[in-house]
């Protein structure tokens, strides 16, 4: 089992095109850990902002009476993918992994597969 720091390092190292990763508590909007990013891309700000995305989707599902679980949410920008993966394992309730990918250097299917593997090994 991997702790937060190890899991985030693995995400950045093993996922082609990854430029940043975070573990986020969407109840508070706080990043529990971050790696990567840049001066022009603050992962803490992105993590807080993406909690609104997760909350909005959960509210919409509730209003529609949808019983399924969110596996991941993909936001596609002109040059980046932003992947939000809600944690489902024990201790993961209210948390998500957030991954930023350079679109030109990444394979989205492989990134989703690898992020799922990292989630399964994460001990929160």
Buried b (16+ CB within 10 A) or exposed e, 39-53: eeeebeebbbebbeb
Report pTM: 0.93
Report which of residues 88 and 60 the model is more confident about. 60
pLDDT of 90 over the 90 cut: no
Q: What is the pLDDT of residue 37?
A: 87
25-76 residue pLDDT tens: 999 999 999 999 888 899 999 999 999 999 999 999 999 999 989 999 999 9
Helices (H), the chain: 4-14, 43-64, 108-121
28 burial via Cβ count (<10 Å: 0-12, 13-18, 19+): exposed
Q: Where are the domains of the chain?
A: 4-92
> How many percent of the chain have pLDDT more than 90?
85
């Amino acid at each position: 089992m991997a702790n937060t720091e190890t899991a985030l390092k693995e995400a950045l190292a093993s996922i082609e095109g990854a430029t940043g990763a975070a573990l986020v508590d969407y109840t508070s909007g706080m990043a529990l850990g971050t790696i990567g990013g840049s001066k022009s891309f603050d992962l803490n700000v992105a993590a807080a902002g993406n909690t609104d995305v997760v909350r909005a989707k959960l509210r919409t599902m509730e209003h529609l009476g949808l019983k399924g679980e969110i596996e991941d949410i993909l936001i596609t920008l002109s040059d980046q993918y932003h992947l939000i993966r809600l944690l489902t394992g024990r201790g993961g309730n209210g948390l998500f992994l957030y991954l930023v990918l350079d679109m030109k250097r990444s394979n989205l299917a492989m990134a989703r597969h690898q992020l799922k593997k990292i989630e399964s090994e994460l001990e929160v």
